[in-house]
Structure 1
């Protein structure tokens, strides 16, 4: 019998505008191929980083939990595929009844024995498509869990990479601060000597001391952040906290073309977007199920077996029995349970649709923001490098002028402090660009393959 009398097939109603979902004004950004489709082992060039990512994917607890959720969904899907098959049960029993001799039955039959062995079967005809909808809903649940697992892996890859490059950034800050501390210790010695010679005041000495202590405070912060980042990577890899080996060169190794592809590709690349649509389809099928509950269900039951009152006749052909029963059940009044469930599933479908639309909009925002930040960050880095060079020259000039008596020591201190701040900010700005490239890769759906 046809199972399409009530059930409808899902049709995507959400459209993605390839012209306006991304707000990208940079003409150097291509839309030919989505670099989010690059596998993570090719996207990241650092061999140490790729090893950490591989270990994280294997051992991370969130990934392992997600894999178990996928296995649960697989089992439920196997069960869902079986709903249109008959239910078969076997039974065997033996009984003995001692009747009262003071009753008509006892006088007529005496004590009784009965032996039974048989098979019961029940099957529901899928007239309205309810069982097919149940199967599809369980299949969508499986696909949703698989995409959730992919999303977890994608985020994990990004988090390991974020923390790895943060480590390199903190190493660069530490390197700058160690050089600064050494320079300021030497400067403090000179300042104390000039003070003793009567050429500088005690104010200059104390300012030199304060700058030295400030550098040491920043060094402690950098070393603290280094260990915190190492612990974060260890946790992501499912390992006890330990030191993390890393590259000493703070350069981005992303030599690919900045190509974001077309927004429609988000439906295939981003696991969270795909999971949202699969969840929408699942709720759509649950509406089909709830709608089918208003209609009568047709069930066929049958049983066959052997029955005897004497054990020696139990397996005799004359002990065979068989019956078959067809029944139709139409709900009439059930305390509004069916209608309430139907209304709930309709609202759940609307919620799932809104969530699907929200995920698409969020993906578009993330891609647009990352492209904007990467583009503007290039300008920031160029200007920041020029600022650092200007402060380096200012330090040199102020020291020369101090030696000739044309500048005071406050100008030298100010120039040095500005140079340190500018160098640390430059490191942070380079880190922002690299992490934003990773974030864009994640926003385009990269990292799970």
Structure 2
């Protein structure tokens, strides 16, 4: 009885000693020293009361067909599924880091017969059944820092998944609008071909009336075929854009249901919020900040390697040389051992780990600053792009209206006066076609500017 009482007191002393050392945490608390500049978006006015990034993508993109495509992409996109799988791995690492605080426990059972030489003792049999436990006291905060690092990595993986979703929504929308633009280009070219075909027939009639020369006829035909040669390129662009969309949706190549470009409503209630809101809304900024936190905790872990480690091991079970007495009280054995391990010379590995951890943390600081500046640049670019496209919209309409008149006037003059030749008609028609193509580009840029701004602010993952 006295023997067990001594062991009990010894266990209590070790536990108390561990608790005292447990309070000797040498790690540092994390604090993000990085600040978000007030003028991160340049000269764009910030609005603290509104931020389009908090809106659902369904509120930004009103086209039902586009909404269906985005929903399908979120369901089936392979990059998004890969990010979800990586998140599961990060979660497993975090769960394991929490279980590191618990003691390990293993069981062992064995039986053996030994036949010694004649000079040794007689034959013996050994039966063992015991459990072994080991626990490392988190004296200097190593396990706690590891847990915090794994938790930050888990949250960073979650933010990465959100970033993939944000980019996916943006890519689907941009590809959809690009498809609509190609459709509209093809439509305009086909309309122009009908006009140019009639022009060629008109030139033949005028030649027979000695109004124009044969050169005007062949020049008209050349203009027709020059425009016709662009049709295969546009169709090729359409096919490649459809294939790109199919890949985003996680399906094999095929047609994509879509509306027409000029039926698309442009979201006009643009609002950026404050730059500091990027920390909450933009996933890649959150990911960079969480990676910074994880590397900070890795520095803490590396610093604890220079301090002694306290390990407590215990063993309890049964031991006997005869099976009939194996479960008797005398077969019971138990022991507990506490030990401190102080690193003295480890070939410079501890210093190497610390320097690597500090270098990784420094690099993550620069990366966080770069991600933040990149986000500001993207917001500023998208805002300015939208403003410039909106600014030239009226001028483009006036240009097209005047070119339509120019085409009509030159064709009429060609019939009744020698002051005009077919070159004037050709020039005005080519200018009109180019202006109509530019109008398509303007509309596309306007739609893309909204998508880019929405993604730059961190919208799309909610």
Q: Tell me, yes or no, if structure 1 residue 76 matches structure 2 residue 96.
A: no
Spell out the pairing of 1:231-246 with structure 2 (5 A cutoff).
231-246=243-258
CA distance in 2, matches of 1:24, 1:48: 36
After TM superposition, the structure 1 = structure 2 runs for residues 159-198 of structure 1, keeping only pairs within 5 Å, are 159-198=171-210
Q: Is the 8 A contact 1:31 1:259 kept in 2?
A: no
Distance 1:78 1:41 in 2: 35
Deviations 1:387-411 (A, max 9, x none): 1111111101111211221421110
TM-score (norm 1): 0.96
Cα 1:4–1:279 shift into 2, 3 Å: farther
Among candidates 17, 24, 33, match of residue 43 of structure 2: 24
After the TM superposition, which of the residue ranges 233-242 and 4-13 deviates more from structure 2? 4-13
Distance, in Å, in 1 between the alignment partners of 2:250 and 2:160 is 19
Contact 1:136–1:285 at 8 Å: present in 2 too? yes
Structure 2, unaligned stretches of length 5 or more?
1-18
Once residues 254 and 215 of structure 1 are traced to their aligned partners in structure 2, the CA distance between those partners, rounded to angstroms, is: 30
1:24, distance to aligned residue in structure 2 (A): 3.0
Provide the residue aligned with 1:314 in structure 2: 326
Of 333, 336, 339 in structure 2, the residue corresponding to residue 324 of structure 1 is 336
Residues 3 and 287 (structure 1 numbering): CA distance in 2 closer, same or farther, change over 3 Å?
farther
Q: In the alignment, which residue of structure 2 is the partner of 1:437? A: 450
On the 8 A contact 2:212/2:421 being kept in 1, the answer is no
- Are 1:416 and 2:439 an aligned pair? no
Q: How far apart, in 2, do the equivalents of 1:45 and 1:71 lie?
A: 34
Q: Is the 8 A contact 1:124 1:297 kept in 2?
A: yes
Residue matched to 2:270? 258
Q: Is there any run of 5+ residues in structure 1 with no aligned partner, and where? A: none
Looking at structure 2, the residues matched to 192 and 314 of structure 1 have their Cα atoms a distance apart, in angstroms, of 117
Q: For residue 373 of structure 1, report the CA deviation from its aligned partner.
A: 0.9
SS at match of 1:304: strand
- Aligned equivalent of 2:69, options 43, 52, 55: 52
Retained in 2: the 8 A contact 1:3–1:132?
A: no
Alpha-carbon deviations, 1:176-197, whole Å to 9, x = none? Answer: 1111000101111111222233
Number of aligned residues: 441
Of 142-151 and 255-264, more deviation after overlay is shown by 255-264
Q: Is the 8 A contact 1:169 1:250 kept in 2?
A: no
Query: Distance between the aligned counterparts of 2:189 and 2:294, measured in 1?
Result: 56
Aligned to 1:95: 112
Q: Does 1:13 align with 2:33?
A: yes
- Residue 186 of structure 2 contacts residue 234 of structure 2 at CA under 8 Å; is this kept in 1? yes
Structure 1 residue 258, shift from structure 2 partner? 1.2
